[in-house]
Amino acid sequence: MWKNFPLFPEQASTLASKVDALYFTFLGISTFFGLLVAGLVIYFAIRFRRRSPEEIGRPEKAGLWMEVTWSVIPLIILLGMFAWGAKVFVEAFRPPGNAVEYFVTAKQWMWKFQHPQGNREINDFHVPLGQPIRLTMTSEDVIHSFFVPAFRVKADVLPGRYTTVWFEANKTGTFHIFCAEYCGAEHSMMRGSIIIMEPADYELWLAGRESGPSVVASGEELFQVKACNTCHRSDSATLAPILHGAFGEPVELADGSVQVVDENYIRESIMNPAAKLVKGYKPLMPTYQGQITEDEVIQLIGYIKSLASDATEEEATLPALPDEG
């Protein structure tokens, strides 16, 4: 009977065991020292209590060794806890290089998922076993929070910007998704499921579903429909910045500051082009606020990312310059 009411969710990701080890170790250390201090307080209160009205206390002077020991040992323990916690934190928020990017859009009261191949799902999310998954997330309305207890991952999903989280499932099955941020009247109904499948089964699942164009293909089409290609191309450099190879690179802005071209910067440039002008360019681009959806912004970002990849490949295939020396 008790297996239907587990005290803790099962561990279903590569990160889960590390988070649990950290949590239970910290809990054990805190419990030990809490009980130690409480026990000593009770013991000293009884041992050195005043037994008669005539007793007069006298000052006590603790030895230097006691002061040093009581300061150094907790310091070492706390520094160790900090280093361990920082290591797990960095692992939890730095996806590996081979992570596959999926897109998540939160909306009252549902989760919308988009696969790189173009498949879309609502509240159900199918992914392959053993593959690092990077989620790029945004909200269409209010603040939500993407929480998968079995994976030990949780991240706020914010309107107007992108946040990321990653995981790698280490067992197949169906695992709950919750919104961990109160988001309105139906907050408790904002649930979903992650279905972890064997890679071969996942490929069969993809093949058996209708899928539209991929994120990159949709973004490329939208790039042309919205006439972005009339300014952001190599033969119109005087009008707008060139996007080939731009993603992930720093650019100098008109105010002298430097900005890395990431998802949030691209989104802001689409919705509010005058907010951060690139040095040397005039504010000619119109705003697309209210003209495109968050899903379409994600598609444009996916296409711009692919331009960065294309530029890298082109550089890699350029012939080497002759050695002049």
Domains in the chain, please, with CATH? 8-42+65-212 (2.60.40.420), 215-315 (1.10.760.10)
- pLDDT tens, residue by residue, 77-125: 999 999 999 999 999 989 998 999 999 999 999 999 989 888 889 999 9
pLDDT average, residue stretch 63-90:
91
Mean pLDDT, the chain, integer: 85
Q: Which helix (H) or strand (E) holds 140?
A: none
Mean pLDDT of all residues in 12-18 = 93
Q: Is residue 313 pLDDT above 80, yes or no?
A: no
- What is the predicted pLDDT for the residue at 211? 67
Pairing of strands 100-107, 258-260: unpaired
Q: Is the pLDDT of residue 321 over 50?
A: no
What pLDDT does 198 receive?
A: 94
pLDDT at 15: 93
pLDDT at 37: 92
Given this model, what pLDDT does residue 145 score?
Answer: 95
CB 270 within 8 A of CB 298: no
Confidence of residue 31 (pLDDT cuts 50, 70, 90): very high
Of 10-19, 20-29, 184-193, 234-243, minimum mean pLDDT range: 234-243
Which whole number is the average pLDDT over 170-179? 94
Task: Tell me the average pLDDT across 180-204.
Answer: 92
Which residue has better confidence, 227 or 103?
103
Tokens 């002061």, located at residue: 67
Contact, 316 vs 310, CB < 8 A? no
> What integer pLDDT is reported at residue 236 of this predicted model?
53
Supply the pLDDT for residue 60: 73
**According to the model, what pLDDT value does residue 54 have?**
78
The residues pairing with 193 across neighbouring beta strands, listed in sequence order, are: 124, 176
| pLDDT of 320 strictly over 60 | no
The whole-number pLDDT of residue 3 equals: 55
Residue 42: the pLDDT is 95
When comparing pLDDT for 306 and 309, which is higher? 306
Q: Enumerate the β-bridge partners of residue 120.
A: 114
Residue 100 CA to residue 113 CA, distance in Å, equals 13
Q: Assess whether pLDDT exceeds 50 at residue 314.
A: no
Is 70 exceeded by the pLDDT of residue 5? no
The position carrying tokens 């949780």 is 154
Which CA distances in Å does 231 have to 48, 205, 282, 288? 84, 40, 12, 15
Task: Give the per-residue pLDDT at 182.
Answer: 93
Greater model confidence, 54 or 312: 54
Amino acid sitting at position 174? T
What pLDDT score does 65 carry? 83
Burial class (CB in 10 A: 0-12, 13-18, 19+), 138: buried
pLDDT at 322 over 60: no
pLDDT tens for residues 131-164? Answer: 999 999 999 989 999 999 999 999 999 998 899 9
Distance separating alpha carbons of residues 259 and 252, to the nearest angstrom? 6
